[in-house]
Amino acid sequence: MKTPFVTLEQLQAITAQYPTPFHLYDEKGIRENARRLRAAFAWNPGFKEYFAVKATPNPAILKILREEGCGTDCSSLTELMMSDRCGFQGSEIMFSSNDTPAEEFVLADRLGATINLDDFTHIDFLQETIGHIPQKISCRYNPGGTFSIGASKEGFQVMDNPGEAKYGFTRAQLTEGFRKLKAMGAKCFGIHAFLASNTLSNEYYPTLAGILFQTAVELKEETGCEITFINLSGGVGVPYKPDQPANDIAAIGEGVRRKFEEILVPAGMGNVAIFTELGRFMLAPYGCLVTRATHEKHTYKEYIGVDACAANLMRPAMYGAYHHITVMGKENAPCDHKYDVTGSLCENNDKFAIDRMLPKIDKGDLLVIHDTGAHGFSMGYNYNGRLRSAEVLLQSDGSTRLIRRAETPDDYFATLIW
C-alpha cells in the first residue's frame, strides 16, 4: 500500500487556495532523501550529487537541493540558465548533452560547468566553438551490446541495450578521445555512463561502478591521463507499484565502496571523486499530481473523468507507465470497482489507469496520483490547448507555497503572431 505524504484534511485546505489539478511536492521528504544519499556515499570525500534538472526544473526545488549540497546536471541552454539563476556556480554544474547546439557549449564554458562530451566528433566541435578545450573534461561511455546483471536478491533482473542507445563513445573512441583531449590541453578527466533506467536492484550501481572503475584504470594505463572523477549518472529507480521493493541507498553506497576498494585503490586511484545524477530517485516519490473527479461514464467500461490529463502527466499515455492512485478519504475502503481513469484530451491513450481496481469514486473526490515528482510536470505540453498546471510546495513546517503558477490563456497565446 502506498501512503500519500499529505492528508485529506491538508488537501482540502490546499485545494481551497489552489484549484486542481496541480503538482504537490514534499520538502521534508526531499531533504531527508538527499541526506540519506549523502550519508550513503560519505566514505568518498569528493562525492557530489548532480541533480538531473530535466526531472523537475523548478527553482524552488533546485534551491532546496543546493542547500543539501547537490549540484545540477544540465542538458540544455535553459537548464544552464536556470542553474545559474539559482546560484549554482562552476563545478556545481555538470553539462551533459547530445547533438549539442554551439550556443549551449558557449554558455556551459562561460559558467565554468564541467562539460561531459557525448561523442568523439564533439571534441573538434567544442574546440571550434569555444576556442579551447577546458582543463577539466568528461566523456560519456557506451559499452555497447546488452547490459544485464541477472537476478538480484530482490528477484529483479536489470536488462537494457546500450548498443541501441544514441549516447556515448565506444571503448576504442574513449581511449582515442582521452589522448586527443590531453594533447589539446585537458588536464583532469572524468568518465560518465548510463546503462539502465529505473532499476529496482541494489546491485545495479555497484555493477556499473565496477565497469567504470575498471575502464578508468585501463584508460589511465593507456593514455596517462589523470582521472579525477567518475560519474555513475542515474538509473537508480523508485517503486511505482505498491508491491515493488524500494532500493536501499545505504546498501548501494556500500556496494560501490567495495568496488572502489577492490579496483581503484590498488591502482593508486583512491582519490577519485564519485558523482551521481539521480533525478527520479531524488524526487519522484516526493511529488504527486492532485486532481479531482469531475465525471463518470458508463458504457462498455466504467470511466472516471478527472480534471487532469496527459498534458499534466504524460508517462502513462506515452509509456503505459503505472502510477498508483489513492482516492483520498477512502484509503481503507475496499477496491471493488474497476475503472479507467481518464483525462480530457482528444486521444484515447489519455488515461492515468486502465482496468484499475479502486474504491467507488464519486464526483468531487480528490485523487492523488503518486510518484510524479520527477518527469511529471517537466514532460507537460499544450496539446488541445490544455494549460499546464501549478506547482505547490508543502514546506517542512506544514505550510504551502506556490512555486509555479498555473498557465493562463494569455500564456498560451503569448508567442503567437496574429
pLDDT in tens, 287-312: 999 999 999 999 999 999 999 999 99
Which of 107, 106, 46 has the alpha carbon at shortest distance from 272?
Answer: 46
Percent of the chain with pLDDT over 90: 91
For the chain, helix, strand, coil in percent to 5 are: 35, 25, 40
Residue 147: the pLDDT is 63
The residues near 263 (Cβ < 8 Å, ≥ 6 apart) are 210, 213, 214, 217
Cell of 342: 481518464
Residues 6 or more apart in contact with residue 239 via CB below 8 angstroms: 200, 245, 246
Closest of 238, 240, 349, 342 to residue 291, by C-alpha: 342
pLDDT at 146: 60
CB of 6 closer than 8 Å to CB of 394: yes
For the question of residue 188 being annotated catalytic, the response is no
Domains and CATH numbers, the chain: 41-278 (3.20.20.10), 285-413 (2.40.37.10)
At 155, the pLDDT band (50, 70, 90 cuts) reads very low
Give residue 157's pLDDT band: very low, low, confident or very high (50, 70, 90). very low
Per-residue pLDDT averaged across 245-254, rounded?
97
Q: What are phi and psi of 306, to 5 degrees?
A: -120, 165
Q: What is the DSSP letter of 199?
A: B
Tell how strand 325-327 and strand 400-404 pair up. Answer: unpaired
Catalytic residue among 188, 225, 309, 346: 346
Q: What is the pLDDT of residues 165-185, one digit of tens each?
A: 678 999 999 999 999 999 999
Residue 163, pLDDT score: 56
Q: How confident is the model at residue 1 (pLDDT cuts 50, 70, 90)?
A: confident
Residue with cell 537508480: 236
Torsion of CA 410, 412, 413, 414, to 10 degrees: 80
**Range 158-164, long-range pairs (CB < 8 A, 24+ positions):** 158/196, 158/199, 158/201, 158/203, 158/204, 158/207, 159/196, 160/195, 160/196, 160/197, 162/195
Cell of 290: 492532485
The residue-averaged pLDDT of 145-158 equals: 50
H-only helix segments in 86-203:
102-111, 122-130, 171-183
> Helix/strand/coil (H, E, C) string of 241-258?
CCCCCCCCHHHHHHHHHH
Phi, psi (degrees; rounded to nearest 5) at 300: -75, -20
* Per-residue model confidence (pLDDT) at position 149: 61
- Quick one: pLDDT at residue 152? 41
CA neighbours closer than 13 Å in the CB half-sphere of residue 188:
12
Q: Give the model's pLDDT for residue 156.
A: 42
> What is the pLDDT confidence band of residue 80, given thresholds at 50, 70 and 90?
very high
